[in-house]
Structure 1
Amino acid sequence: MRRNKITIIGAGNVGATAAHWAASRGLGDILLLDVVEGVPQGKALDLLQSGPVDGFSNRITGSNDFADLAGSDVVIITAGLARKPGMSRDDLLAKNVAIVKSCAEQVAKHAPDCVLIVVTNPIDAMVYTAFKVTGFPRERVIGMAGVLDSARYRTFLAEALGVAPRDVNALVMGIHGDNMLPLIRLANVAGVPVTDLLSAEELAAIVHRTQHGGAEIVNHLKTGSAFYTPGLAAVEMAEAVLTDSKRVLPCAAYVEGEFGFSGCFLGVPVVLGDKGVERIIQFKLTDEEQKAMAESETAVRKQMAATGL
């Protein structure tokens, strides 16, 4: 029986961590791909040797040859520069667009049937770059953002309420940046609205912390950005695709009229299956939420223009 193949392009912190999560979940054979000789091979071998301890039996290899992409069911692009203190995600755009463009060209050449998940920042511009370069249908090109942002949102709500994070349901939509939209009215704890449990001031503070959650980590680390949760968030999406589980996850998806927007990638709730995005789940937004989404769209289109594609 053929096993699934997951290729992760970029063997830095995010890529190596994603490989770790994918191996631990037993999702299939894993290829860690990077242009730096020795790095993907060394990290793959190290990870492979944890199999007897963790109990997984995945085949894990490292490579510098993009031809090894062949046969990939899911490809996750993490390659790119990370943020440093004082940098915005937009500051990375010019350099990372060239990196993602190069990776996307190789994916289209060697793994034309895969589902592509983009993690590189600024995500909304980078997933647009990959979409344009590969020529893949919109269903098979997705940006990782909403799973990460929603995880941060849920964590902060759980901390404020003193409850298990897994019992907090919350959704973040829009751009992966300062204009993201953590929805307050839909957030709940086991069905109980958080608006019944926290004050407006407390919720506003949590929303603000969510919107700047990445920068908070960057300011602590000084020399890099978050990698544990971004890596896991990408694997959560990959698992939904590989298992055809119809998970409903917030992702950066290409909209064609949904929520009143078209022709760009925005963070929206989607159903993920073996072909990628099966559908975008739409619901009525309040006037305030619609305005916030429009601000996200404006910011995304500015990034798209800056890619030159």
Structure 2
Amino acid sequence: MFALRNTVSNIFQKRAFSASASQATKVAVLGAAGGIGQPLSLLLKLNNKVSDLALYDIRGAPGVAADISHINTDSKVAGYNPTPEGIRDALTGAEIVVIPAGVPRKPGMTRDDLFNTNASIVRDLAKACAEHCPEAKLLIISNPVNSTVPIVSEVFKAAGKYDPKKLFGVTTLDIVRASRFISQVKSTDPAAEVVPVVGGHSGVTIVPILSQTSHPDISGEARDALVNRIQFGGDEVVKAKDGAGSATLSMAFAGARFADSLLKAAEGQEVVECTFVESPLYAKEGVDFFASKVTLGKEGVKEIHPVGQINEYETELLKACLNDLKKNIQKGRDFVKSN
């Protein structure tokens, strides 16, 4: 579960990773010079499963690449400028593309406030991916994920290149927060806490399933406060940074962890992560993208797991989630149709 943390700690135990420890794998980061992109790129440089790291942004990517290329792991790093040739070269041959590009959330902004700017950015990057690396697995971090993932799907459908098994909305930060926050309530080791978080990746669409944890006894005001903190943990960071940014470092960790899980799956391991994908679970309710436990395989999505048994309180949370999520998904689709 926390293999990425082990990856980071191993860097202090070994001077460099062996190039033979993993097959050659190219990972591209689009938005690599941003608040999420820089620490994410650093963490990917520490991952011995990455042999070729391609960094792209509208400015600064070559500088970020030069900086982290000095780290003594055996992966190749290159930075690319915002030209047609630059994004082509960054994406060609990539097996995984991580997209954190976009503007950060500021105090008073909701994820929906980010929509118009980030939707255009994601649309254009998706077009480039469909052209230059249509077989790559795409990891969407750019908010609002509930809408940007459907945007990417529509772009790929229009290009005749869509494979739902290879498109992921990264909701791993919700999992990371939930395990940390519940450990603070119960005074336990966060690494030992497993908290399924389903639904989407904003506000009430984030549904932590506390009844399926080791602490189903959490109830009343303590439960309400914990759920609210998991759902709106991003606001806590935005407020604390006082206008200087949003949850960039924790999001970078979460993105790197999910990328690591996909890299493990590509090598034949079966890994289960909660992630926002095209899903049949609530398609009858008009919600055809949904985050739940997903078994990852070599081709991407191997198996989508149902939410499972939930209590009455969580049933109400799920109802509120589905209502908002349906609107968020449609908003992404409508954007592509209009633009």
- Cα offset, 1:288, TM superposition: 4.2
Q: Verify: 1:101 aligned to 2:123, yes or no.
A: yes
Could you tell me which amino acid in structure 2 is paired with residue 227 of structure 1?
Answer: T
Report 1:195-274 matches (<5 A): 195=217, 198=218, 200-221=220-241, 222-244=243-265, 245-257=269-281, 261=285, 263-274=287-298
TM-score normalised per structure 2: 0.83
State the percentage of identical aligned residues: 26
Q: Which residue of 2 aligns with 1:14?
A: 36
Contact 2:209/2:310, CA 8 A, preserved across alignment? no
Could you tell me which amino acid in structure 2 is paired with residue 32 of structure 1?
Answer: L
Q: Which residue of 1 aligns with 2:9?
A: none
- Cα offset, 1:235, TM superposition: 1.9
- Cα offset, 1:22, TM superposition: 1.2
Q: How many residues align?
A: 296
Report 1:288-307 matches (<5 A): 288-307=313-332
Contact 2:27/2:96, CA 8 A, preserved across alignment? yes
Report 1:29-68 matches (<5 A): 29-36=52-59, 39-51=60-72, 56-64=73-81, 65-68=86-89
Q: Which residue of 1 aligns with 2:196?
A: 171
**How far apart, in 2, do the equivalents of 1:216 and 1:230 lie?**
14
Residues 205, 254 of structure 1: alpha-carbon distance in 2 compared, 3 angstrom cutoff: same
Residues 75, 247 of structure 1: alpha-carbon distance in 2 compared, 3 angstrom cutoff: same
Q: Secondary structure at the match of 2:210?
A: coil
Contact 1:14/1:230, CA 8 A, preserved across alignment? yes
Contact 2:26/2:54, CA 8 A, preserved across alignment? yes
Could you tell me which amino acid in structure 2 is paired with residue 60 of structure 1?
Answer: V
Report 1:31-180 matches (<5 A): 31-36=54-59, 39-51=60-72, 56-64=73-81, 65-68=86-89, 69-135=91-157, 136-145=162-171, 147-179=172-204, 180=206
Q: Secondary structure at the match of 2:149?
A: helix
Could you tell me which amino acid in structure 2 is paired with residue 211 of structure 1?
Answer: Q
**How far apart, in 2, do the equivalents of 1:258 and 1:100 lie?**
25
- Cα offset, 1:277, TM superposition: 1.0
**How far apart, in 2, do the equivalents of 1:101 and 1:60 lie?**
26
**How far apart, in 1, do the equivalents of 2:194 and 2:131 lie?**
39
Contact 2:287/2:329, CA 8 A, preserved across alignment? no
Between 103-112 and 42-51, report the one with greater CA deviation: 42-51
CA RMSD of aligned residues (A): 1.8
5+ long unaligned stretches in structure 1 = none
Could you tell me which amino acid in structure 2 is paired with residue 57 of structure 1?
Answer: D
Could you tell me which amino acid in structure 1 is paired with residue 165 of structure 2?
Answer: E
- Cα offset, 1:18, TM superposition: 1.3
Q: Which residue of 2 aligns with 1:185?
A: 211
Contact 2:289/2:329, CA 8 A, preserved across alignment? no
Q: Secondary structure at the match of 1:255?
A: strand
Deviation readout 1:89-112 (Å, 9 max, x if unpaired): 011111111100000000010001
Contact 1:16/1:32, CA 8 A, preserved across alignment? no
Q: Which residue of 1 aligns with 2:6?
A: none
Contact 2:264/2:271, CA 8 A, preserved across alignment? no
Q: Secondary structure at the match of 1:25?
A: coil
Residues 249, 130 of structure 1: alpha-carbon distance in 2 compared, 3 angstrom cutoff: same
**How far apart, in 2, do the equivalents of 1:306 and 1:114 lie?**
25
**How far apart, in 2, do the equivalents of 1:284 and 1:155 lie?**
23
**How far apart, in 2, do the equivalents of 1:261 and 1:58 lie?**
45
**How far apart, in 2, do the equivalents of 1:275 and 1:258 lie?**
23
Q: Secondary structure at the match of 2:203?
A: coil
